[in-house]
Amino acid sequence: MSEAAMRPARVALVGNPNTGKTALFNALTGSRQKVANYAGVTVERKEGSLVTPGGRTLSILDLPGTYSLRARSPDEAVTRDAVLGRLAGEAEPDVVVAVADATNLRLVLRLILELKAVGRPMVLALNMYDIAQRQGLRIDLAGLERELGCPIVTTVATRKRGILELTAKVDDLIASGALSTANVWREPSAGEIRDAHREAQRILKAHVRPPEHPDTMTGRIDAVLLHPVAGLAILFALLFLMFQAVFTWAAPLMDGIDASFAWLGTVVGQGLPDGLIKDFIADGVIAGVGSVLVFLPQILILFFFIILLEDFGYMARAAFLMDKIMGGAGLHGRAFIPLLSSFACAIPGIMAARVIDQKRDRLTTILVAPLMTCSARIPVYTLIISAFIPNATVGPGLSLQGLVMFGLYSAGIVSALLVSFVIRKVFWRGAVEPFLMELPTYKLPSFENVFRNLLLRAQIFLSRAGRIILPLMVLVWILSTFPGPPPGATDPAIDYSLAGMIGHAIQPLFAPIGFNWQMVVALIPGFAAREVAVAALGTVYAVGDAEANVGALGARLAQHWSLATGLSFLAWYVFAPQCAATLGVVKRETNSWMWTGVMFAYMTTLAYLASFAVYHTAVALGAG
Amino acid sequence: MHQLLAEAMAAPAPGLTRLSQAKPGDRGVIADVRADHTAGHGVDVHELERRLLESGFVEGATFEVLHQGLFGADPIAVRVDDMRVALRRRDAEDVWVQLESK
């Protein structure tokens, strides 16, 4: 083949949500994937590459799912602009692969008609073809190919069927020199949508015979899961199970990670001569990294549930069940998914708010998302709870510690609902966004997709830990080591350090809520990322006491803090905007320093008031 | 005057009801999707009409109300042709349907 014939090509995957587009992307690219953001927007950009049987390199772009190019949300706008070649810094795709759920063609046909108007060479991938065959759905492939004027490939992405054929078809299309025709797409009016629908209906009628055995499983499952009473009970049971799992399942793994880092610290410590270098590596780096990595199991368990429920098709049901409850607080039913993601981390949660089409609803969701208990708070909560709450059992399978944790989560949820209610009353009234959402067919999640998604989450967490948290730990170590104590000093060394000076200087501000200066020192790096406060407390106390490790930190805190102080610290962490990255994302998503400022101000105020109330109540009850 | 005129024009064909009035188990055919609803929506009525159309609520589509929420019987889950869609009753007001007699 000639040089020109084998040039690399760009392929964009476009389709409705829930068509297995991401599964197809995974099947095509395997582990050769990169995740980044599109320039200027925080929409996740997923790209992968593969080499076709003919030897051509294809770079595959997985675009956000959409029902129409008439984009209504930032996610859908990315899809539209990528297809139209309007996206800044993004070359237009050589070939568009339209991904369709073979069992649900009606709406995707309308999208395909829109894509045809754009005029790029296109291949249609009829995914989930095995389910269509099992249902006895007959699709006249040759007729449909003629009608749509584009090649069709049947695929079963979860079993990697049809993948080679798909890449071969794309390759053929490029080799045949198929060129884009003129782009005649424009935003359709209501009348044009009706016409397109009628056209889709005609094509469907001509080439697709309805299934002999239509899916009845989804209806039967919905009868239970969408039952007004049982459905809600199941939803709450699921949420409760998730949080119990985060604590009980993760425990052995966390103990393992904890022990390995303690071991590593000892081994490295023995191999090095006493002095600054040894302190830096053992106390600063290894203890710091260990105290962050230890939370990876909890984050993965939480994401495991979220990804599993999403792939199963349950998340839309959860939004349905929660819509009225969230609507009462002035939130959109769809806010349920961003807010649920915020339990893992407010950053993906705030980014997921892009699924809410309307600006006001999106803004409300963004403003309250950080009140949801993100996984970065878990280290702080776990540490304080294990130090101050007795490990007692209050019922079968219920521990007092677990109950306190549940209470902290509830405090976050209740305050988020109250705040969004107030936002709606104060900032805007009346206007309510329509709530229209497809309830996808239930599907068994594929192990590989869940696994790949989890891997992605782990990577994102680890790179964050590496890039943000590690340098901060080093900074904290430097701040708390230099300058060293004068010869013959009797107080702990950190008292003389920079960190000690800063802590002492601003501690009076925090005295009314019962914080000592070590806590204030820990809050400073904790502002960069919440969980850093734990490692910082470890460093502050380890440096002050010379030999503490992360596991013993809880016991040390129990010696140094009163119960009232511990509870006040918990209350602070429920509300405080202790995360610079979140504020950065809010700025990017709202494109407004004003709203970022509003968030910072209201959360700090709430945190201070809550800690003040908790501390003084506890002191009055004799826990001071 | 304009109000009266608008309401007279908006009057549906006899025998039609709003989808927002339907109960679980009700089924039939979507007769008319029209942007004449005057309550305060967050988006303008024409945008609502386009969104309804894009979700499959198109004249001629068959439907069945499948489920409703616990509080205020809202939102509702509707089968439209071969898809399932969830929507709030207030957004279903603009969809006029011909109920199948049971």
Verify whether the Cβ–Cβ distance B51 to A107 is below 8 Å: no
Distances (CA, A) of A14 to A20, A115, A125: 11, 9, 10
Q: Which residue matches tokens 């201070």?
A: A608
- Window 194-223 of A, Cβ < 8 Å to B: 194, 197-198, 201, 210, 214, 218-219, 222
Q: Are residues A199 and A254 in the same domain?
A: no
ipTM given for this complex: 0.87
Verify whether the Cβ–Cβ distance A190 to B46 is below 8 Å: yes
Say if CB A434 and CB B48 are below 8 A apart: yes
Q: What are B's interface residues with A at a Cβ cutoff of 8 A?
A: 35, 40-43, 46, 48-56, 58-60, 66-72, 74-75, 77, 81-88, 90-91
Q: Are residues A138 and A254 in the same domain?
A: no
* Count of domains forming chain B: 1
Identify whether A438 is part of a domain: no
Q: Are residues A8 and A65 in the same domain?
A: yes
Distances (CA, A) of A122 to A95, A114, A141, A527, A563: 6, 12, 15, 48, 65
* Token pair in block for residue A513: 């809520």
Residues A105, A384: Cα–Cα separation, whole Å: 53
Of A194, A320, A324, the CB nearest to B71: A324
Q: Are residues A148 and A270 in the same domain?
A: no
H or E stretch covering A611: helix A593-620
Looking up residue A109, the CATH number of its domain turns out to be 3.40.50.300
The parent domain of residue A61 ranges over 4-209
* Count of domains forming chain A: 2
Identify whether A622 is part of a domain: no
Boundary residue ending a domain (A561, A577, A603): A561
Boundary residue ending a domain (A209, A232, A259): A209
Phi, psi of A97 (to 5 degrees): -105, 110
Boundary residue ending a domain (A185, A209, A233): A209
Say if CB A99 and CB A20 are below 8 A apart: yes
Residues A117, A386: Cα–Cα separation, whole Å: 61
pLDDT in tens, A416-473: 999 998 888 887 765 667 788 889 999 888 888 888 888 887 877 677 666 666 776 6
Of B82, B83, B91, the CB nearest to A434: B91
Instruction: Tell me what pLDDT residue A247 has.
Output: 67
Q: Are residues A253 and A203 in the same domain?
A: no
Say if CB A100 and CB A124 are below 8 A apart: yes
Distances (CA, A) of A160 to A123, A166, A280, A308: 17, 11, 49, 20
Looking up residue B78, the CATH number of its domain turns out to be 2.30.30.90
Q: State the smallest CA–CA distance between residue A190 and chain B in angstroms.
A: 5
Determine the 3-state secondary structure of A11 from DSSP: strand
Task: Compare A464 and A338 and report the one with higher pLDDT.
Answer: A338
Q: Are residues A262 and A141 in the same domain?
A: no
Mean pLDDT throughout B19-42?
A: 81
Q: Are residues A127 and A260 in the same domain?
A: no
B92: nearest Cα among B81, B68, A200, B71: B68
Q: State the smallest CA–CA distance between residue B36 and chain A in angstroms.
A: 13
pLDDT in tens, A479-513: 877 887 777 766 666 677 887 888 889 899 999 99
Residues A42, A465: Cα–Cα separation, whole Å: 20
The parent domain of residue B34 ranges over 2-99
Distances (CA, A) of A49 to A28, A32, A98, B10, B89: 8, 6, 18, 54, 45
Q: How far apart are the two ends of chain A, measured CA to CA in Å?
A: 81
pLDDT in tens, A234-245: 998 988 887 777
Identify whether A83 is part of a domain: yes
* Token pair in block for residue A323: 């819509």
CB crowding A84-108: b at 16 or more within 10 Å, else e: beebeebebbbbbbbbbbbbbbbbb
Angle at A511 between CA A505 and CA A468, to 5 degrees: 60
Alpha helices in chain B (DSSP H): 2-10, 45-54, 89-92
